[in-house]
A and B are shown apart, each in its own frame.
Chain A
Amino acid sequence: MRVTRLKNVRIVDGLQGSSRPTDLYILDKTLARKIPADLRIDADYDLENHVVMAGGIDIHTHIGGGKVNLARLLWPERSKKLDDQKPWLAPLSAPVPGTWETGRRYLQMGYTTCFEPAMLPANARQSHIEMRDTPWLDTGGYVVLGNDRMLLNMLASRASQQQVNDYVAWMVVSSAAMAIKVVNAGGIDAFKFNQRQLNVDETHPQLPVTPRDILWSLSTAAEELGLAHPLHVHCSNLGTPGNIDSTLATLDAVEGRRIHLTHAQYHCYGKSGPHGFSSEASKLADRVNRSNHISIDVGQVLFGQTITLSADTMHQFANRKLASPRKQIFQDLECQAGCGLLPFKYKESQYVHGLQWAIGLELFLRIQDPKRVFLTTDHPNGGPFTGYPHLIRLLMDYDFRMSIFDRLHRDVKATSSLPSLKREYRLDEIASITRLGPARALGLQQRGHLSPGSIADVVVYRNDDNAETMFANPVMVFRRGQLVLRNGEILDDCPKTVLVSEFETRSVAMQWGNHSSHREQWEKLYGYSPWLTALTDQEFADEGLDVEHALWQPAD
C-alpha cells in the first residue's frame, strides 16, 4: 500500500471545521486521517500555509457531444496566450477547445469530475467518446428528454406513470446517463412545428401535452426510479424578459419533488426598468431559500467572447440576430431535440449583459445554503470554465466585485441591488459550491469532501489573499491518490471513470428494448432499432474506462 502524507494542511471541504493545521493521509486511492504506526510513509509533503480541498466537480459544463463539436468547428480562429508569466491565466485557445486542452485546463484549476449536461440519446455514444478523450477528468452526462416524440406520444396517449418510468429507465441506462435533463419542455419539438413560444401551461401544437405535464411526469420518474440526481431543468423562455413567471411555474409543476434548476441566472428576469429588462433574482433566491428540494447552478456571465450553445433551438433561433460575429448553426435532431449555436460577446458597456452579470452574483449572494447553489458558467454559454477562479474572487471579495460593477452601464448601476449585498464567501462556502454541494446533488458519496474513506481526488492550494491567483494555480493535484500535477506542470496521465446513476430497477431496465411493441414504435419513429444507439458497459471497458454507479441518499 502506498502512503502519502500531506502534513500541516488546512482541510476545507464544507463538512468539517477549517481552523488548525492537521495531517491528511492518502492510502493508495482513498483518504485517511490516521494510519497504523507501523505503516511506512512513501511520500511526505509539508504544506504549512496551504489549503486542501477535494477535487472540483463541475455539475454543468458542455464538454462533449454533437453541438460541442459543432462549436469547435464554427470557431477555427485561435487566440494567443496573453500572459506567458502566468500561463494558467491564459484564455482558452478557443471558446470551445479540443478535448485535450479541456482536460488539461480543468486539471490545472483542481477540477477532477465534470458532467456534460445535454446528451441526446441518439448522440450519447459520441458524447461519451469525446469525454473519454478528455484526459484527467472523470465524466458523466445527463440524457435529454422531454422533447422526444416517444415520450410526448406516451403522455398524449395518457400512458401510465409506470410505463413512463420504464421508458425513462431504458433511456438512462442505454445512454449511460447520470440523470435526466429537460430543456424547454416540449418547446423544442413545438418549434419543429413552427411554434415560436411555449409557456408552461400552453399545449403543444400537435399533441395534447403541456410543459407542465412533461415536467411532472419526468420529475416523478426520476423520483420513483430513485435516480442519483433529480430532474435537471432548463426552463421555458430562456433569456426572455419576464421569464421569472414561467420559472416559478416550472418549480410549481414538480409539486414538491426534488428538482435542479440549471443556469438559473438566465431564468430570473423581469420586464420592468429602463430597458424593459430587470432582475428578479431575489424572487428565485427566496423560493430556493424556502424549499429544501430545490438546488440550482447559476450559469454566471463573464465578460468577453464566447459561443452560446443549447439544445433550446426555439430560443437560440429567436436570438440569432445577436450573434457576434454573424454566423450561427441550428439543427433539428432525431425526434429528440435540437441545437443552436451563436457566437456571442458579453460586454461590460451593454445594459443587458451587465445586468446578467449582476443577476448571477445576486443569486450566489442571496441563496443562503451553499450546498444548494453551485458554481457554473454553463461553459461556454456564460463564459469559459477557466473564469472560475475570477468568479470565486468576485464572491469572496466585495471591493473587487464593486470595482467591476463600477464599470458597468449606468442604468445597471442605477437599478441593481448588488452593492447592498455585502456578503463575502468563506473558503468553506467555496468548497461547498464547487465540491460538496454538487457531489451531494449527484449522489457521489465518496467525492466532494475529504472524509476518511473518500476518493483521494485532492487539490492543494497555497493560501493567497487574492482568491483568483490561489484558485487558478493549485500547487498539487492528486487523482485517486496519484500525484498528477505539481506547480502547473502535468506529471502523469491517470485512469478515467464514467459516472452513471444507480437505481433499483437498473439491472432490468434494458429489457424495455427487447419488448416487441416498444421495438415497433421505436423503429416506426426512427427507422432503426433501439439497440443501434444503446451503449453497453463493455464499450466503456473496451475504451479502458471504469464505470462508477452513483446512488442518491437523503442528506443528513
Chain B
Amino acid sequence: MNQSHRRPEICSLCALVCELPDGSTESPRLDGFCSKQARLKPFVPIRLQSIQLQVSQDDAALTKVTQRIEQASAILVSGRIHSVESARSAIELANRFSATIDPWDSDGAFDAIASLQRVGGYSVSLGEARDHSDLWIVVGDDRLLEQTPRLPFAMHRGGSQRLLLLGTWSDASVRIWQAAGFEVLCLSVCVEGVPKYLSQATRLGQDHCQTELGKWILQAQYTTILYSPWALQVTYRDLWSDLLSRWVLTRNETARIATLCWGSLQSTFHQTCTWLTGFPGRIHFDNQQAFYDPNRFAAKDWCRRQDSGDQIARRSLLLWIDDSLDELPDELVEQNIPKLIIGPNQNKLACPSDLWLPTGIMGVTHSANIFRGDQTILAKIPVEGRGSPTHYLSPSDWVGRLLR
C-alpha cells in the first residue's frame, strides 16, 4: 500500500474527532482542541513530566497493585474509557478478576440503549444528515455546545439549511448556530414534552397545519432530530426516547425523518464492550461468563452499595481506568472504597492507601481508535513523530503487565 499520502491530524478530546486544519501538524496536538477541557492544556506537559518520573518505580507498584486486587472481595472496573484499546483492557481485566464493569456517567447512554432495546428507532449518521437533511431539529441546551463547540459547523454543509432549536438555549448559543450558517428558529419549550409537540404539530397535515414548527417539518424532505442523552433535562430519558422513536418510525411510513443521538466519547467503550461480550456494559463476570443487568451493575449504584458499610467498603476495590484529562468525580472522592487509578491524573485521592499507575493520554501520547459521537466512524488517531510514547505506559500496557 502506498503510504505517501497526507493523513490528517485528528483531535481526540471530544466526540467530533475533528481533523485539525493543515498547518497544525507541527504544533502540539492540543492546539486544535476547542472544548471546555482546553483549559487543562497548560498542565499537560507538567503532568507528562511527572509521569516519566513515576514509571521507573513500576515493578514495586505492580506488586502492590496485584496484592490489592487479590485481597479484594468485590471489584468494580470503571472510569472514563474513550478508546478501543483501553476498553479492551478494562474488559479483559474485569473478566480475569470476576469483576463488575461499567463506565462512570453511563446513565445517559443506558437510557438510550434501554429505549433501543425496547422500541428500536430510525437514526442517521452525521455525514448523511449533513449532506441530505434540509431541516435540523436540535433538542437540548447549551451543554451540547460546551462539550462539542464545533458541532454546528460539522453539521452545516453550506447553503441554506433550516434549524429548529427546542429547549433552553442562550442567545450566545443561538448566535453560534447562526454563525455556522443555519436559518435558526429557536423555541423555548420544556424538553419533556418535545415528542408530544412534534407529534401534534404534524398531525393535521400540511394543508391544515397551524404552527411554524409543524410547517417546517411538513415542508422538509428529510428531517434530522439531534439530541444528546447526557444533555437532556427530562425525568425519564428512556421513556422520552421511546416516544420520540415511535413517532419517527411511524412518520417514516410516508415521509423521511431520522434521529441523531449524539453520544459522548464513552460510546467507544459501549461499542467495544458490545462486540466483545454481546452487551454494551453494566456486566458482571463470573467464571469467564458475562452477565448483563443494566439495573444492577451500574457503577454508581455499585459504589453506593459498597460504601454503605465501612467493612464492606474496605474489602472492595474500584479499578479506575481513565483516558480523560479530568479529575476524579467529587462524589467518588468522598467514598471510602479503595481505588486503583490507571490514568494520567493523580487526582484527589481519597484514602492514603489509594494507588495510582500513571499513564500517558490515549490519542495524545498513544495511538488510539475512538468513535465519533454518532458511532458510525471509528477514527484512528496515530501518534507517529510525536516524541517517543515509550516514556509513558498506556492503560492497556499497565493492564497487560498486571495480567501477566
Contact = CB atoms under 8 A, between A and B. Distances in A.
Contacts of A527: 126-127, 130-131, 154, 157
Contact of B116 (A73, A509, A526): A73
B131 A335 contact: yes
Contacts of B274: 69, 72-73, 98
A461 B392 CA distance: 50
B271 A531 contact: no
Interface stretch (B44-52, B62-70, B276-284): B276-284
Interface string B254-279: 01101000000000000100111111
A508 interface: yes
Interface string B9-28: 01000000101000000000
Given A192-B222, A332-B125, A510-B5, A99 B275 contact: yes
5 contacts: A99-B276, A331-B125, A334-B377, A335-B127, A510-B3
Contacts of A513: 5
Contacts of A332: 123-125, 128-129, 132, 258
Interface string A319-333: 010000001111111
Nearest to B294: A76
A532 B376 CA distance: 12
A144 to B, nearest CB: 13
B378 interface: yes
A194 B221 contact: yes
Given A123-B376, A533-B377, A333 B125 contact: yes
B299 interface: no
B120 interface: yes
B122 A331 contact: yes
Given A66-B375, A332-B124, A129 B369 contact: yes
Interface in A107-124: 120, 122-123
B278 A173 contact: no
Interface of A: 64, 66, 68-69, 72-74, 76, 78, 93-94, 96-101, 120, 122-123, 125-126, 129-130, 133, 149, 173, 192-194, 317, 320, 327-335, 341, 506-511, 513-514, 524-529, 531-539, 542
Q: What 10 A-B pairs have minimum CB-CB distances, sorted nearest first?
A: A98-B278, A334-B127, A327-B120, A328-B120, A126-B378, A329-B120, A330-B122, A125-B378, A332-B124, A510-B2
Given A74-B116, A333-B376, A532-B379, A538 B3 contact: yes
Contacts of A525: 127, 131
A439 B69 CA distance: 48
Contact of A532 (B10, B367, B371): B10
B231 interface: no
B225 to A, nearest CB: 13
Contacts of B389: none
A39 B375 CA distance: 54
B7 interface: yes
Nearest to B129: A332
A73 B125 contact: no
Task: Name B's interface SS.
Answer: mixed
Contacts of B8: 528-529, 531-532
A494 B179 CA distance: 54
A522 to B, nearest CB: 11
A415 B254 CA distance: 36
Contact of B121 (A126, A329, A333, A536): A329
B57 interface: no
Nearest to B252: A317
Interface residues of B, number: 58
A511 to B, nearest CB: 6
Interface in B93-128: 113, 116-128
B271 A69 contact: yes
B242 to A, nearest CB: 11
A175 B380 CA distance: 13
Contacts of B255: 194
A122 B376 contact: yes
A73 B127 contact: no
B248 to A, nearest CB: 9
Interface in B59-97: 84, 88
A531 B7 contact: yes
B278 A526 contact: no
A509 B120 CA distance: 39
A328 B292 CA distance: 21
